[in-house]
Structure 1
Amino acid sequence: MQRRTFAIGTACAASALVGSAGTARAAARRTGTARGALARTTAGLVQGERIGNVSVFRGVPYARPPVGDLRFAAPRPPRPWSGVREATRFAPTALQSTGGSGSEDCLYANVWTPDTAGRRPVFVFIHGGGWRTGAGSLPTYDGARLARHGGLVVITFNYRLGAFGWGLHEDLSDPLTGDCANWGLQDQAALLHWAQHNAAAFGGDPANITLCGSSAGGSSAWQLSLLPELRGVVRRTVPISAAHAWAPAIGLTPDDARQAYERMAHRHGTTVRGLREVPARALRDSWQQLFSGAPGDRALSSGREYQGPVLDGRWMRGNDSDLPTPSVPMMVIGTHTEGSFFTGPNPPTPPPTPAPTDAATLHDAVRGVLLKGTAEISAAQVDACIAAYREAAAADGLSDTPLSLWTEIWGDGLFRYQGIRLAERHARVGGTPVYVMDFAHPVRAPWFGTPHEATSKFLFGTYALPENVAQLGDGPREERVSRTFMDLIASFSHHGVPSSPAAPHWPEFTPGRASTLVLGGTDRPRIGPLPKSRQLRYWDHAGWVPSVRPVPRTSGPDRT
């Protein structure tokens, strides 16, 4: 009963929502506000702005600020307000784990809608950033073009990051819920409940919510789709380049998470409970220090690449590889060269070794990648990995330069392998449709391949922004790729079957058959076999990344 606090609080306020939508529009006419720029949420009226033929509402509270006693607490419903709250500016980002920007007061949503009247599909997007950086307000995630082109209500939002969002310690147990971990995942669940209860106010259909995320957000989209309390809230899921969490590479073990908070408490001369009183930036910096430097030099052996969700038995009940597959239709998307995000120019974090140029430096570089997922790796294991990838490259006619092999090993080990294997398992036992896309639109030199996170710029139609255009271009081909991508996402959100006038019929994914949509790299999308499948076979027996078990779906099928 206690764990339903958020849902009950918002559901009670939602009971009058349908009638209040008309009242809000009437108020807009009386005050002279542009049509579609006023909406009544469960907490009160918000006024956005009309830009062209889309209304946008920025910085709308979906939960109470998680500060003071609410640091390390489950998200609470926002406090109601009287009058009209301005929603024309983005709220602060969550406190970033690198740099000085952001704020703990960060639990806000942004909504783009063609009109506050009607019942359009709702598209919720979870930003990535390795669970430590990012925000729903970044220009790349501007939802105006997708909302307009797809006839969607598009929602982005912030959630807690780093030490504030992704850890575990029993001394931080919430007195209302008993939960003591994964507060960022709890924020995301709260946002989905908020979206369901407030969709109608923005012209959305509360019974038709598609959940999408990229990278860390893609991992969250998958995990949220497994939660029993969100069954019936999330109708479809689009995990993009999901970083499926597992320790020690992408998450902390529970013991290491406990140690992390105990070490921070000792550093600040307090108890774990007392961490709620430590200044936010000091706490952020202490967390960052725990995970700086090479993994082998740290006090904690897990969280070697990212510090994502922790197994807590509640919000994360197991690795995705061990849990049942979601019971909703899915569109699983990966980029053709995930690893070039990390091995190309200006990577998000410096690679552990310089780009390899010969056999010796390739060995060192691949060893650096494999040490992201284990504390020890033998020379023979490194050589076996390189040999397997070199053999796959020869069989498929792909480049086998040291840079190419290093790039593919990095991207497959941390992203592509689990994403593909989980999609294959869903196709066999899931009971609902799954569609698989290889996003292959090439970037411009000096970047190369189709890097991890290239997808977002085309999904939102923001490839031509100043921060994106040098890498992605701004020509007719980019426009076609973006419009086709938006077509596919919009049609999937509307009725569960992705389609576009510019794409061939996209069949449900069937392992071993030509059923993967390849978007980009040629003038037209095409259906073909899964690209680079030989590369993935190495990981099936490497004992490095978790193997995907053939477990059943979570519940009965919902085919739309």
Structure 2
Amino acid sequence: MPRPAPGRRAVLGACAATAVAWAAPTASASARAARGPAEGRAEVARTSAGPVAGLRTGATVAFRGVPYARPPVGPLRFASPRPPVPWREVRDATRYSPAFTQTIDPDSREDALYANVWTPSTRGRRPVLVYIHGGGWQVGAGSWPTYDGSRLADRGDLVVITFNYRLGPFGFGYHEELTDDTTGDCANWGLQDQAALLRWVRENAEAFGGDPYNITLSGTSAGGASTWQLALHPEVRGLVRRIVPISACHVWAPATSLTVPDARRAYEEVAARIGTSVRGLRAVSADALRDAWFTVFGGGPVGRAVGSGREYRGPVVDGRWMRGFDHQLPTPALPVLSVHTRTEGSFYTGPGSPIPTPAPTDGPSLREAVRGVLLKGAERVPDSLVDGCVDAYRAAAVADGLPLDPVSLWTDVWGDGLFRYQNVRFAERHARTGTTPGYLMEFAHPARAPWFGTPHEHTSPFLFGTQGIADNVGECGDGPGERAVSDTFIDLVASFARTGRPSAPGAPPWPVFSPDRPSTLILGEPGGPRTAHPTKARQLEFWDTNGWAPRIS
């Protein structure tokens, strides 16, 4: 068994905590009656590659560590994913696979392309919810216990699937010397893995009691961005019926993507450090390649060999798997339920930040802290941009009656610039130009002291019902109010996956989003769910005209 995953604040960029689900069964009696054998009994599902044995625990059966692709090792490093090698004997599927190789997990490895499935029963035809973990395209795993799908599958009467995909230099980059001779692809291997997983789900959903033609794709942060990107890809769009991007870290250069020339140079720098050619990177140890990559991108973005990929190194526009950045492409032609948190930035400015940065205490230090945020998305940041940002956020806070202390202002700049601004503006664009329903949720459940606000990734424990375990409970809480928020979140997502219309007993009617009326569902406030306009709209106006972030029109 791999070691327990690191705590959620140890990740670089965006990943949830390790956790274990608690069960509060609420499914219908008829659904319960079809759930099969008693707790502790093995159950077998017959996949396209061979039979696998999972284990029933409580109201669900879990199948862990099911291969969805061949191990991407040796000559298959930097190759497009291949189907798994078939087997005949029943394969044990009661243990997670290790995470894909990453700096924060010593037990991680390249042989990690496995899926995990939770289902109330292998009989039936339920909606399928596929979830893509976040982690800045560099860390994370579908096996982290925050993503234990048992409660989500039980309460929502869903088949829930998580999985691992290639990360870091193995998953996201570009170089012609790494071209796959079979497919012609030379980039974005992690995105290719995600597409391969969806093809595997289409082929195998029925074996787990799922409907192969009713697949909803969801993910948080980098996983939310991947959800959006896959919905735009013509080869994948037909596999997915709906999407639920959560706090999507939409990809754009230079903040979260390498340009093609910079990606080429990065692999050449890595190869030179190791003493090999770019082609030779297939033969070096995974640890050596990974460590050299993170040396090239170590420290702050100022002074690196390349100017792009300043905050994260996500998918590269290669013309094949990424035909353009999200803001350059049409809105997805699928129903969308988009979620953002009220205070995305407090994940980074609160206790245990994955990117520790001294907190500002006065006007001068606030300006330098804001400059640091702006340098994540630009190679040069003039004083006028810094001053304009600080002034705009102060004025908006005064108008809205919000705190004016340096940490609060810095937190909103961070969260809005990298997450909330694009999430809201993409929802507005979908409302204007899309041909499918779009829904917008603002998750507002406050973190407990000493954490504050509603941080980025605060959604995951509530979606999966894992807010009550040791790594999460201190920040999330686990009283009746938290359980009600989790119940409502699950109900909304499950109903959307089932019918395309989100509804819940604990929520008011939720209309299709329109910027012209109060149609954003606010979930997690003390008074209960309500519909309203997105909060802190004045703050977002700053990003519309300064040229720092992509203009979404």
User: Which category describes the TM-score, using the shorter chain as reference length?
Assistant: over 0.9
Residues 97 and 161 in structure 1, CA contact (< 8 A), matched pair in contact too: no
Aligned to 1:456: 460
Aligned to 2:341: 335
Matches within 5 A, 1:436-451: 436-451=440-455
Q: Deviations over 1:293-316 (max 9, x none)?
A: 121121111111101111101111
**Structure 1 pair 328–35 and aligned structure 2 pair: CA distance change class (3 A):** farther
Q: Does 1:382 align with 2:380?
A: no
In the aligned structure 2, how far is the partner of 1:319 from the partner of 1:397? 36
Q: Out of 358, 372, 376, which is 1:372 matched to? A: 376
Aligned to 1:216: 222
Q: Deviations over 1:279-337 (max 9, x none)?
A: 00010000000111121121111111101111101111111001011000010000010
Aligned to 1:23: none
Q: Deviations over 1:464-491 (max 9, x none)?
A: 1100001111100000000000000110
**Structure 1 pair 512–167 and aligned structure 2 pair: CA distance change class (3 A):** same
Could you state the TM-score of these two structures normalised by the residue count of structure 1?
0.91
Aligned to 2:535: 531
Q: Does 1:267 align with 2:279?
A: no
Q: Which runs of 4+ in 1 moved over 2 A?
A: 32-36, 97-101
In the aligned structure 2, how far is the partner of 1:504 from the partner of 1:76? 46
In the aligned structure 2, how far is the partner of 1:372 from the partner of 1:100? 28
Q: Out of 305, 309, 324, which is 1:303 matched to? A: 309
In the aligned structure 2, how far is the partner of 1:69 from the partner of 1:33? 42
In the aligned structure 1, how far is the partner of 2:42 from the partner of 2:215? 21
Cα deviation for residue 100 of structure 1 reads 3.0
Structure 2 segments unaligned to the other structure (5+ residues): 1-35
Give, as a single letter, the amino acid of the residue that structure 2 aligns with 1:529.
H
Partner-residue secondary structure (3-state), 2:232? coil
Residues 208 and 235 in structure 1, CA contact (< 8 A), matched pair in contact too: yes
RCO greater where, 1 or 2, for CA within 8 Å and sep 6 or more? 2
In the aligned structure 1, how far is the partner of 2:100 from the partner of 2:63? 18
Question: What's the Cα RMSD here?
Answer: 1.3
Residues 98 and 132 in structure 1, CA contact (< 8 A), matched pair in contact too: no
In the aligned structure 2, how far is the partner of 1:200 from the partner of 1:514? 40
Instruction: State percent identity of aligned pairs.
Output: 63
Q: How many residues align?
A: 518
Cα deviation for residue 36 of structure 1 reads 7.3
Q: Deviations over 1:175-229 (max 9, x none)?
A: 1110000000000000000011100000000000000000000000000001111
In the aligned structure 2, how far is the partner of 1:380 from the partner of 1:174? 47
Cα deviation for residue 401 of structure 1 reads 1.1
Q: Out of 142, 149, 153, which is 1:143 matched to? A: 149
Give, as a single letter, the amino acid of the residue that structure 2 aligns with 1:293.
G
In the aligned structure 1, how far is the partner of 2:98 from the partner of 2:298? 25
Q: Out of 39, 51, 61, which is 1:45 matched to? A: 51
Aligned to 2:399: 395
Q: Out of 257, 260, 265, which is 2:263 matched to? A: 257
Cα deviation for residue 525 of structure 1 reads 0.4
Aligned to 1:281: 287
Structure 1 segments unaligned to the other structure (5+ residues): 1-27, 550-560
Could you state the TM-score of these two structures normalised by the residue count of structure 2?
0.92
Matches within 5 A, 1:539-550: 539-549=543-553
In the aligned structure 2, how far is the partner of 1:406 from the partner of 1:33? 50
**Structure 1 pair 33–517 and aligned structure 2 pair: CA distance change class (3 A):** closer
Partner-residue secondary structure (3-state), 1:37? strand
Aligned to 2:427: 423
In the aligned structure 1, how far is the partner of 2:166 from the partner of 2:149? 21
In the aligned structure 1, how far is the partner of 2:245 from the partner of 2:419? 11
**Structure 1 pair 440–393 and aligned structure 2 pair: CA distance change class (3 A):** same
Partner-residue secondary structure (3-state), 2:302? helix
Cα deviation for residue 512 of structure 1 reads 2.8
Give, as a single letter, the amino acid of the residue that structure 1 aligns with 2:495.
S
Residues 464 and 474 in structure 1, CA contact (< 8 A), matched pair in contact too: yes
Partner-residue secondary structure (3-state), 2:390? helix
Cα deviation for residue 34 of structure 1 reads 6.8
Residues 54 and 115 in structure 1, CA contact (< 8 A), matched pair in contact too: yes
